[in-house]
Structures are given as C-alpha cells and as structure tokens.
Amino acid sequence: MSQTVKTEQDQPIGKTFSFMFVFKRYPIIPALCLLPVIICGIFGPLFYPHDPTMMNLGSALKPPAFLPGGEFSYFLGTDHMGRDLLSRLIEGARISLLISVFGVLLSGLIGCSLGMLAGYMGGKADEVIMRVVDAQMSIPAILLTILLAAALGVGVTTIIVAISVVFWTGYARVIRGETVSLKQREFVVLAKVTGCSKARILIRHIFPNLISTITVLATLQLGRAILIEASITFLGVGLQPPDTAWGLMISEGRMYMATAWWIPTFAGLAIMATVLGSNLMGDWLRDKFDPKLRQL
C-alpha cells in the first residue's frame, strides 16, 4: 500500500521545484544584466559599429532605428554631435568597468587589511581605526568624492583613488566584525596553542574564512562605485568631454531631453542595469555562501 502512495507523490516534487531551483542555483538574472557590460568592457573595440568619438554633424540627433526617421546603422541613434550612441555606450562600459573594478579592489585592499587588524588586535589599534571609520562615514560619500576629485585633479586615476578612499570604511566595518567573531572560534584558539604567529593566524586561518564575505561585499560595492563615478562625472568633476562615460552622456544629453530623449535615457538604463545586476549578484552570492542555506 505504501509503495503506491510513494511513487505517486515522488514524481511531481522533482518537476515543480526544478524551475525554481534553476533560478536559485544559477544567477541567471544578475548574469543577464552584468555579462553584456563585462563583454563590452573587455572586447568593446572589436565590435563598435562606429568610432565612438567620431563626430558627424550631418547625422546629428538621429533617433534610434525603431523610431520613424531612424537609421539601422545608428541602432540607438546619435547625439548632438552625430556620434553613434551604441558605440559610445560600449566605450562607456569600458571606463565604468575599469574605474569601478579598480576602485573596489583598492578600497577592498585597504578596508580588509585595516578591518582585520582592528578586529584581531583589538585595544588601541581597534579604537583608532574604527573611530576614523565612524568619522568618515558621517560625511556624505558623494560630497567627499567631489572634494577629493576636485583636490586631486580630474582623470581616471583620481576617480579610482577617490572611490577607494570613500569605500574602504564599508569593508573595514564588516571585516572587523567578522574577524572578532572568527578570533573566538576554536580553530583560531588552537592555532595559538600550536604556536602560530599572529601573521600566520591572520593569513592562514582568518583570511580564508573571510573570502566569501569579501566577495559579496565587493560585488555590492561594484554597483555603488559605478553610481558614484556616474554621479561625479555628471556633476562635472569626474571625467571630462573627450572621454566617453555614461555619466558624461547623461550630462551632455540632458539639454536635449525634450527633443532627443534617447541620448540620456540609454546611458541611464545602462547604469541601472549594471547596478541592479551587481546588487542581485551580491545577494545571490550571499545566499550561496550562507552556511545555513548551503546545507540544504
């Protein structure tokens, strides 16, 4: 009797759940958002339809191909200087990716080392580092970046440095907390009993257990970095006109909102998709690394 009941109920479970499982197991939506940006960022120059900086005033303000008057060769239309918007979007991805990735890496390096140091050493070092973090976190991020960018002069390196200086506090806080709790874990105590040096404990025992947290943080910060970069560029203290960047496209295009809405809109959509993608990817990674969920 029990046998028949079992086989009847066994089948549908696998099928009803498989659809959900695919979305839970693989980051499909985040990947759809992020992959185009990454591909464009790395291989962009190989498939520009046009030179993104080439001006052609004769074909200025052309609407996208799917609107009346659009041309297929300018798929997303052109801006007020007649530059191809699709090519500019692809080129913008390169700069955004470059700045955000290096900004996140540099800030991660500073933030994680200081956070681990504060968490493991405790005492005075902890107090000093964490008070600096508190103080800096009370200044609005955008304001601090603008000040730094203005002080250091414009350019890609400046923005990377500015982003690192603003973002390291986020890492430091989380990593310090994790380190404090890891420090009390028994395997760290045992390492001490074995005679491991402080450096060895930090590198061999604590750091590998932080990697998942750092990955999640970095992914989430990636989106923020792109937003900050776009914002300060929009405000005019970031990248300057000969360069191509999403923030710049919005700020140049905002004059033409009424007549050529496509100039700022596509750049805005690109920013939105990238930030959303990296946030979703961060959430997915967090779920993935969470040991409680991993057991299921």
Partner 1 sequence: MAPVLEIKSLVKHFLFVTDGVILRKYKMLKAVDGVSFSVDKGACFGIAGESGSGKTTISRLILLLEKITSGKILYEGKDISKLARKDILWYRMRVQTIFQDAASSLNPRMRVRDIVSEPLEVQLGKTLTKKEIMERTEEMIRLVGLPTDKLANYPHELSGGQKQRVAIAKAVILHPALVILDEPVSALDVSIRAQILNLLSDIQAQQDLTYLIIAHDLAMLQHVTTDIGVMYLGKIVETGKTENVFNEPLHPYTKALFAAVPWPVPGRVKKAPSLKGEIGNPLDPPSGCRFHQRCEYAKRICREAEPLLVETRPGHSVACHKINEPLWRAS
Partner 2 sequence: MTQKIILAVEGLKTYFFTRAGVVKAVDGVSFSVKEGESLGIAGESGCGKSITCLSIVRLVPQPAGRIISGKILFEGQDLLVKKEKEMRQWRGKRISMILQDPLTSLNPCYTIENQVSEPYKIEGLNNGSNNIRKKVINVLKRVRIPSPERRMRDYPFQFSGGMRQRVLAAIAIARDPRLLIADEPTTSLDVTIQDQFLRLLKDMQQQTNMGLVMITHDLGIVAETCDRVAIMYAGKIVERGTVENVFLNPAHPYTEALMEALPKMGSKRKRLFQIEGEPPNLLRLPGGCSFWPRCHKAMDICQTQSPPVISLKNGGEASCWLLC
205 interface partner picked from partner 1, partner 2, none, CB below 5 to 8 A per type? partner 1
Note whether 75 and 81 are within 8 A (CB).
no
5 interface partner picked from partner 1, partner 2, none, CB below 5 to 8 A per type? partner 2
Nearer to partner 2, 1 or 46 (CB): 1
Taking the CA atoms of residue 50, residue 48, residue 276 and residue 65 in that order, the dihedral angle to the nearest 10 degrees is 50
Positions 144 through 203 that interact with partner 1 (CB under 8 A) = 185-187, 189-197, 200
| CA–CA distance, 193 with 5 (Å, rounded to integer) | 56
1 interface partner picked from partner 1, partner 2, none, CB below 5 to 8 A per type? partner 2
Taking the CA atoms of residue 31, residue 34, residue 36 and residue 40 in that order, the dihedral angle to the nearest 10 degrees is -140
Give yes or no for residue 9 binding partner 2 (CB under 8 A): yes
Residue span binding partner 1 (CB under 8 A) among the ranges 12-20, 205-213, 217-225, 276-284: 205-213
Give yes or no for residue 5 binding partner 2 (CB under 8 A): yes
21 interface partner picked from partner 2, partner 1, none, CB below 5 to 8 A per type? partner 2
Give yes or no for residue 296 binding partner 2 (CB under 8 A): yes
Least distance to partner 2, CB of residue 295, Å: 10
Nearer to partner 1, 25 or 200 (CB): 200
199 interface partner picked from partner 1, partner 2, none, CB below 5 to 8 A per type? none
Q: How many residues bind partner 1 (CB under 8 A)?
A: 18
Nearer to partner 2, 28 or 42 (CB): 28
Least distance to partner 1, CB of residue 171, Å: 19
Which tokens is 162 given?
């500015």
Binding site for partner 1 (CB under 8 A): 185-187, 189-197, 200, 204-205, 208-209, 211
